[in-house]
Amino acid sequence: MAGFAPSFQKYGLQPNLYGMLGGNTTLLCQPEAAPEPDKEWFKDGAPLNTGTNPQDRVLLLSNGNIHITGLTQGDQGEYECRATNQYGTDLTRGKLTVLR
């Protein structure tokens, strides 16, 4: 079975993402890849501090997506998901705007 590098060509983040102040949002990281890639999230170029406990405000889901609850103005910025396997790396970016 042949493998291939991650690609976000079909399922990349939308370039402009919106959430309501105090609301929730989920950012998707769904590359096509074989084997399944490791996924890393960044915000404004820095590694994103995510948790895996359901009580965490910025939660890394088992599928690699992130779910943010109780959105604040501080959550605004450019988010990037980077996917890597032995065949290569790809990334997708989107800017999150928090609306009042």
| Mean pLDDT split into 10-residue runs, the chain, 100 residues | 92 96 97 96 96 92 96 98 98 97
> Secondary structure of the chain: what % helix, strand, coil (to 5)?
5, 50, 45
CA 29 vs CA 20, 26, 83, 87, 99: distances in Å: 21, 10, 8, 18, 23
pLDDT score for 2 = 83
Q: What is the pTM of this model?
A: 0.94
Task: Please report the domains of the chain, with CATH numbers, ordered by start residue.
Answer: 4-99 (2.60.40.10)
pLDDT score for 54 = 86
Buried b (16+ CB within 10 A) or exposed e, 27-37: bbbbbebeeeb
